[in-house]
Amino acid sequence: MSLSESARATSAAEARFRLQAPNARPRRLAVIPMDEQARALAVGLAAQGFAHTSFVALSESEEWPAHLTGRTRAVLEAIEAAQTVVLLATAGAEAALAGTLAEAARGRTLIGLILDSEGAAPEALERSLAALRPHAAMLVLAEGRDYVAAMLEALRA
């Protein structure tokens, strides 16, 4: 009587052909908020200690998004060190810098997360979608901090 295919595949002789390491390595992410509400969320997420994620350092005291343009070097360094760039924007936010950031992130996966879309007016949501849609490989309507944290974990941050 011969062994079934399943029995042969689980035998010690076949074990040497199995991968001994996890199937995915952590990715280096850069998280860049596009507006004040997204900035507040990013500050909270940064405190959770995502080991492979850099959050662009932002100050509460400076005007938004003018502060982001004043941090060009930090933004570019975060993007250059990342494999994946995540842009956080609140539904209704302008996200006018999305095109510029997408240009800087060329060659990297760009993901757009639009926050609090449920309560937003359709016109406001469409404005945010229109700003990010042409640039993002993946565009997600995210509800709340826990959703965004789970998304970063799923991206192996």
Whether the bond into 22 is cis, omega within 30 of 0: no
Q: Does residue 10 belong to any structural domain of this protein?
A: no
State the pTM of this model: 0.77
Q: Does residue 1 belong to any structural domain of this protein?
A: no
pLDDT score for 27: 82
Q: Does residue 31 belong to any structural domain of this protein?
A: yes
Tell me the CA end-to-end span of the chain in Å, nearest whole number: 49
Angle (CA) 68-58-152 rounded to 5° is 100
Q: Does residue 16 belong to any structural domain of this protein?
A: no
pLDDT score for 94: 76
Q: Does residue 5 belong to any structural domain of this protein?
A: no
Q: Which residues of the chain have pLDDT under 70?
A: 1, 19-24, 57-70, 157
Q: Does residue 11 belong to any structural domain of this protein?
A: no
Q: Does residue 136 belong to any structural domain of this protein?
A: yes
CATH number of domain containing 123: 3.40.50.10140
pLDDT score for 31: 94
* Phi, psi of 139, rounded to the nearest 5 degrees: -125, 120
Domain that holds residue 114: 26-154
pLDDT score for 56: 83
The count of domains in the chain is 1
Q: Does residue 2 belong to any structural domain of this protein?
A: no
